[in-house]
Chains A and B, each alone.
Chain A
Amino acid sequence: MKGQIALGLLALLALIGVLVVVGLGESNRMLEFTGAYDARQIETGASLFEQSCRPCHGPQGQGIGGVAPALNAPDQFDGSRLAKVGFSGTLPDYVRGVIAAGRPVPSAGTNYPQRMPTWGAEYGGPLRADQVDALVAFVLNWKDRALAGGGAATPAPTGPAVGADITLALPAGDAVRGKTLAEAVLGCAGCHVLAAVGPKWPAEGGEPGIGARAETRFQASGYTGKATSAEQYLFESTVLPNAYVVDGFQPNIMPQNLAERLSAQDTADLIAYMLSLR
């Protein structure tokens, strides 16, 4: 029995010894765990980027001209991009906010036709908070290489917005590019080709296409706009949709902000495409 009491006390001492050894190593262990977790966040972020971000921002975040800006560019990390868009918080907050909430309106000075989607679950997107954090960790990990000149800033796509002056002289239009804009980028086809939310563009039955209709429409009685040619009429209908609303349709359904979103070239291409539909 004395032996048992001695063993019991020894075991208690050993237990205290173990706790002391563990306790001495705890701050290092916690630091290591946090470090390893941060590193794994970057790994997780890399695979999320591959699935969700790569299509627009490029496989290495170098951006794709006309689609989405570079993320590994120096201006992202030296503060100039934040200054340009007028964000006064920190870079991680900025990146986190943009990923989580998306960009329903374009940033100042940019004119990308597609908007950054909402990713954070708290804003209705598909990613959990820790996944957004992982993406932020991955994007911020470009810092060293970006500042060393690794990536280059991708210019915003196509110059300044066209504005709402329909007498502006437009450059020569490319109907093929206009078709791409209408169907893939701007989504015009959704209402003007596939459904009858807006006047149908292609010819259908006895009704001619939008190109043919435009040539007579601006001279028709009841026309309330200021266009003096088919091109101007289509220009006006695009950037000032309420100047004249075709019979049988409601005002304010057509997006009102195309004057700020489209470049002169985009507008010319769109008009060229519409005129080709006869």
Chain B
Amino acid sequence: MAIFRLNIPVLDQIKQKGLRPALKDKWVDLVTRVTAGLSPNDVRGVLRDDAPGRPNPRLTPHAEGFWLHMKPTYYHRMVDGFYPTFRLGWLSTFFGVFEIVTGVLLMVYYTPSPLVAYENMLNLLGNVPFGQILRDLHRLAAELMVIVVVLHMLRTFITGSYKKPRQFTWATGVVLLGVTMVLSFSGYLLPWDQLSLWAVTIGASMVEAIPPEVVGRSVNLLVRGAPEFGANGLLRFYLLHVVALPLAGIVAFGVHYYKVIHHGHSLPPEAEKVGEDTAKRVPMDSRVYFMPQIMTRELWYVSGLLAILFGAAAFLYHAPALEPHANPLITPLHTTAPWYFLWVQGMLKIGDKVVWGLIVPGLLTGLLLVLPYIEVGPSRRYGDRRIGLSLAALFVAAMAMLSFMGTPNYAVSTSPDQEAVAELLPQTRPGPLRSAPWEDLAFGSYVATAWGAAPNATLQDLLHEFYNVLTNVQSADRTNVAGVMVIEDWQTDLKKVTLRVTWTNVANGSAGEFSQSVYLHRNSNYGEGA
């Protein structure tokens, strides 16, 4: 009796059939198992785009394997073109997966604590090979994902694809839109610099307004973990960003994609009779099979997009430069919410915080969610939906308008003297003075009106800009406005630059003054993206 027995049937087969035929059979077996049903010959046929055999072996992986089981075996020729999908849903999925992969790599270098988060960022950018491009890629794909998801929704509205029977698909899509935006928003806080803290503070301040006061206060505590963002708030946003929201997104995506496949990709509106939905019954002569056409194209899209994203992150796009460490005591002038929430910030400037910050955005979201159940016009054709499409265009225009109103360019009342100094020394980006060549900042005291007399072109430009914005300070209340720039030698390789605005108050003849200083080091390199 043997102590143990090995079961290696290939040895028996080699004995029976000889080495080469046995190994060949083994290879065929292996490939068929890995591809869930395609023999090496079938794979070769797919790659060469040969006509499939009958029965079509390329359908087996869809039936047998998990991953292809989720994909349809064929599509309608009419939805295979660039129109009507523009590949926007596919792109959203691509960016989602891309964010998960880059996000997990970023998590390797990150600890969600205010004590070390900022240092982690410095380490990532200054000490981790490929650290900067990793951050740039994650950020770039996040911004693109928000854009693509919004466009995807717009497209679905325009082609009327949300109509019966796809109402629920639309509703899950609205959930996914929300998840995408909040995911992007929650990631803002993690670098724990001034931009992070204040952009998110503005976004999160809405919940504080929920009436009655006790509810607003409690929800605010739940969101921020304390009255203001701190260790708890950072941890909460981190967990939202890396666990809760991705999980919610994956679940919602599962339902969304199941529904898409279940009902079939909707055909272009003009292709069907009004009230008809033939997407599920694709005639034999209109079928485009997943294997090989769609699969090949999707694989080439993936490699092409990766090359574009990496190229862009390497040479064109950089995530916003790390700002100074988050400081709850210093609110930078001109802080804004992330661009996709600027419309809320714009609405807040219209009026009441509760009405415009909560009720209206809440109603809009709710309306979006139930839109296909309310708008039940049977026709998907553009000509029959003039009112709906016009309203959508108006809605887009209104959102663009509101987003503009959310920027500091609209209705922000700060004193013009601070604005004048902030023109050269902005608090949310480096700005002209910090980016100016250090050597050109010659020591001395310069008056803005005499900008032409400055010793070099850099100083002349800066002073001219200063001079131009000073005209805004001049008003019925303020006369004799003057601006001075003083550049002092402060330390080795360190200069102190002071901008001072002075004026006379017309009402009582008293003198007013606003000044701000900045220290500039030879090597601080604000001109670069780092």
Contacts and interface: CB of A to CB of B under 8 A. Distances in A.
B122 A37 contact: yes
27 contacts: A1-B292, A1-B293, A7-B300, A8-B300, A11-B300, A11-B306, A22-B130, A22-B133, A23-B129, A23-B130, A26-B129, A30-B129, A32-B530, A33-B125, A36-B523, A38-B523, A39-B525, A43-B519, A43-B520, A43-B521, A43-B524, A46-B491, A60-B490, A131-B325, A141-B491, A142-B492, A143-B492
Contacts of B525: 32, 35-36, 39
A216 interface: no
A28 to B, nearest CB: 11
Contacts of A131: 325
Interface in A1-25: 1-2, 4-5, 7-9, 11-12, 14-15, 18-19, 21-23
B18 interface: no
Interface string B476-517: 000000000000001111101000000000000000000001
A128 B325 contact: yes
B521 A32 contact: no
A215 interface: no
Contacts of A38: 523
Nearest to A43: B519
A36 B528 contact: yes
A40 interface: yes
A23 B306 CA distance: 17
A15 B307 contact: yes
A22 B314 contact: yes
Best-surrounded residue of A5, A39, A138 (most CB of chain B within 10 A): A39
A34 B122 CA distance: 8
A37 B126 contact: yes
A39 B523 contact: yes
Contacts of A42: 491, 493-494, 519, 521
Contacts of A43: 494, 518-521, 524
Contact of A15 (B119, B310, B491, B523): B310
B307 A14 contact: yes
A46 B496 contact: yes
A29 B300 contact: no
Given A39-B521, A141-B491, 12 more contacts: A7-B300, A9-B303, A12-B303, A22-B314, A27-B129, A37-B126, A38-B523, A39-B522, A43-B518, A44-B324, A47-B518, A130-B119
B132 to A, nearest CB: 7
B304 interface: yes
B127 A34 contact: yes
Contacts of A23: 129-130
Interface string A227-271: 000000000000000000000000000000000000000000000
Specify which of A32, A36, A47 lies most central, judged by the most chain B CB atoms within 10 Å of its CB: A36
Contacts of B128: 30
Closest 9 pairs between A and B when the two form their complex, measured CB to CB: A8-B300, A39-B521, A46-B519, A36-B525, A39-B523, A39-B524, A11-B307, A11-B303, A33-B126
Contacts of A5: 47, 296, 300
Contacts of A130: 118-119, 325
Contact of A141 (B306, B325, B494): B494
A36 B314 contact: no
A144 B127 CA distance: 28
A33 B130 CA distance: 13
B49 interface: yes
A19 B310 contact: yes
Interface of A: 1-2, 4-5, 7-9, 11-12, 14-15, 18-19, 21-23, 26-27, 29-30, 32-40, 42-44, 46-47, 50, 60, 128-131, 138, 141-145
Nearest to B523: A39
A194 to B, nearest CB: 30
Interface residues of B, number: 48
Interface string B293-319: 100110110111011001100100000
A44 B494 CA distance: 11
Contacts of B304: 7-8, 11
B98 to A, nearest CB: 13
Contacts of B310: 15, 18-19, 22
B311 A14 contact: yes
A42 B130 CA distance: 27
Given A12-B307, A46-B519, A40 B524 contact: yes
B311 A18 contact: yes
Given A11-B307, A34-B127, A144 B492 contact: yes
A44 B330 CA distance: 14
A171 B310 CA distance: 79
Contacts of A60: 490
A258 B521 CA distance: 44
A138 B494 CA distance: 10
Contacts of B496: 46
Nearest to A8: B300
Q: Taking each of A1, A2, A47, A141, which has the highest tally of chain B beta carbons within 10 Å of its own beta carbon?
A: A1
B466 to A, nearest CB: 21
Contacts of A9: 303
Interface string B270-308: 000000000000000000000011001101101110110
A87 to B, nearest CB: 24
B491 A4 contact: no
Nearest to A12: B303
Residue of B47, B293, B307, B324 with highest tally of chain A CB at under 10 A = B307
B280 to A, nearest CB: 27
A33 B491 contact: no
A22 B523 CA distance: 22
B394 to A, nearest CB: 40
A119 B129 CA distance: 35
Interface in B125-154: 125-133
Most chain A beta-carbon neighbours within 10 Å: one of B119, B126, B306, B520: B126
Contact of B126 (A22, A34, A138, A145): A34
A240 B292 CA distance: 98
Given A21-B314, A39-B525, A15 B303 contact: yes
Contacts of A47: 517-519
A1 B291 CA distance: 11
Nearest to B129: A26
Interface string B94-133: 0000000000000000000001001100100111111111
A27 B127 CA distance: 9
Contacts of B131: 30
Nearest to A22: B314
Nearest to B305: A11
A4 B300 CA distance: 6
Most chain A CB within a 10 A radius of its CB, from B293, B517, B525, B528: B525
Given A8-B299, A18-B311, A35-B523, A26 B530 contact: no
Contacts of A12: 303, 306-307
Contacts of A39: 493, 521-525
B126 to A, nearest CB: 4
Contact of B492 (A2, A37, A141): A141
